[in-house]
Amino acid sequence: MLLKKFLYISLFFVLLITACQDSSQNNSLPDNNSSKTTSTSPNPNPSPQNTLSQTNTPVTNSQTILKQEEIKIGATLPEITTKDVTAKTTVIASRTDKTGQLIMVYAPTCPICHETMPNVVNLYKSFFQRNNIPIIALSVQPQAVTELSVKELSIPFSVVVMPEVDQKFGYKVPSIPTLIAIGPDGIIRGIWVGQIGADQMTQIIKIFCPTCDIEISRS
């Protein structure tokens, strides 16, 4: 009897030890679900929606908006390289023209421009041409009508088609026609808006040649 009891007790302890070992092994296994929910590592493959929201956000600030002011004496014009109606390379506000330039902004179909252009041509032939000072006309209308005006008005100097003159200058041209005297440094020395007469023509010459004793006679 004692032997049978001893065998039962021994078997009980063996079963108890085995059960404890199984429980210990189960508790030591990693919890996969727990590791997924508590991970703080960044997602290496973000969704397309998140990527677009980070890279395609438009930048809108005051620097992207050009608020143009009206052109004025003392303003500096940028150097603009373009071609005239004859395909000749022309540089507006050139820093290599040591004498400066006279710019005329006009429209071929503008009646006042037609009245003003002969005076500008007269200025060119009597003073600017012989002193090697460029005059450049900027037309705000298309090529075809501009070329026709060159022939009709017998314009002897460079004519450039530039309908976007405000954007090129960075300033608003107040009206058509407008004459602009530019120094060799690109700084505006004088502005004349509308039709010019003898007084304005004399002023223009004085800007480019202060010591010249020239007075245009009134016709």
Q: Is residue 43 domain-resident? A: no
Residues 75-128 have pLDDT tens digits of 999 999 999 999 999 999 999 989 999 999 999 999 999 999 999 999 999 999
What pLDDT shows up at residue 159?
A: 98
CATH number at residue 178: 3.40.30.10
- Whether 29 shows a pLDDT value over 60: the answer reads no
> Around Cβ 154, how many Cβ atoms within 10 Å?
9
Q: Is residue 182 domain-resident? A: yes
What pLDDT shows up at residue 165?
A: 96
| Domain containing residue 147 | 97-208
What pLDDT shows up at residue 68?
A: 74
Spell out where the chain has E strands.
80-83, 89-92, 101-106, 135-139, 158-161, 178-182, 188-193
- Whether 215 shows a pLDDT value over 70: the answer reads no
Report strand pairing: 188-193 vs 89-92: unpaired
* Residues 23-52 as b or e (16 or more Cβ within 10 Å = b): eeeeeeeeeeeeeeeeeeeeeeeeeeeeee
CA-CA distance, 31 to 180, in Å (whole number)? 82
Place 179 in a pLDDT band, splitting at 50, 70 and 90.
Answer: very high
Number of domains in the chain: 1
- Whether 131 shows a pLDDT value over 70: the answer reads yes
Q: Is residue 17 domain-resident? A: no
- Whether 18 shows a pLDDT value over 60: the answer reads no
Q: Is residue 217 domain-resident? A: no
Q: Is residue 39 domain-resident? A: no
Residues 42-61 have pLDDT tens digits of 444 444 333 333 333 333 33
Across all residues in the chain, what is the average pLDDT?
A: 79
pTM of the model: 0.68
Q: Is residue 22 domain-resident? A: no
Q: Is residue 109 domain-resident? A: yes
Q: Is residue 111 domain-resident? A: yes
What pLDDT shows up at residue 97?
A: 86
